[in-house]
Chains A and B, each alone.
Chain A
Amino acid sequence: MRSWILQRVSAIFIALFVLYLGGFLFLNLPLDYVTWKAWVGLTFNKVVIILFFISVFFHAWVGIRDVIIDYVHSVALRFILLTGVIGILVSMAVWLLIIVQGA
């Protein structure tokens, strides 16, 4: 139940962010470095981007977990894959934090 809700709530936030980013891009393409860096540098946007990635993290996790459960029948392999996926997703989240922090 919890993963079901997580997936739906994260989906909604992701959709809203995609619209937000899409709107910005639509108004500012072709992009130049200064505009882009300034937009990402806004504190509000930094927060939103990090929240976006946390949402993607949970959303992707639930999705991939379901796919692995559906197709990988060996419990050992499943465990390894699921652990690997979490590891990679967490690493990506940390990397993104570092990137946004430095912007």
Chain B
Amino acid sequence: MRTSRPVYLNLLKIKLPVTAILSILHRITGVFMVLSIPLLVYLFEQSLQDPTSFQQLSVIMAHPVARFILALFVWFLAHHLMAGIRFLLMDIDVGVLKPSARASAYLVNYLGLVLLVAALFWAYLL
């Protein structure tokens, strides 16, 4: 359906509600994780093949950049999982009203960031 209504899509200027941020992150993290499935299956295969490939994989995973990506992935998983639980609870009518929905959105977003920091901490100190 095409109309000639004006469109404003400057994401940098639009102030999104916290619930919207949570929701789009839920989608983005989901898509990202699906896209990383082939790589993860490959890494899984490498980890099981023989001691040499396992060792090679360990060496690669010890690299700072790999550690960073790993921590990021942990954050993506954690955020997606927590946002998902929030949605599941809303399915059974828990936390549906606006104040609690906003509160739980803040909780998930910030808890996610806390977990990101924890993951980075762990990634670089283990």
Contact = CB atoms under 8 A, between A and B. Distances in A.
A60 B37 contact: yes
Interface string A51-83: 000001000100110010000000000000000
B96 interface: no
B interface, over-half SS: helix
A63 B30 contact: yes
A18 B80 CA distance: 12
A36 B43 CA distance: 13
B84 A60 contact: no
B91 interface: yes
Contact of A36 (B54, B81, B88): B54
Contact size range, B? 20 to 34
A47 interface: no
Interface in B59-85: 77, 81, 84-85
A92 B41 contact: yes
A63 B44 CA distance: 23
A2 interface: no
B34 interface: yes
A40 B38 contact: no
A56 B33 CA distance: 10
Contacts of A18: 77, 81
B100 interface: no
A46 to B, nearest CB: 11
B38 A8 contact: no
11 contacts: A8-B91, A11-B88, A15-B81, A30-B126, A37-B48, A63-B27, A63-B30, A63-B31, A67-B30, A89-B37, A92-B37
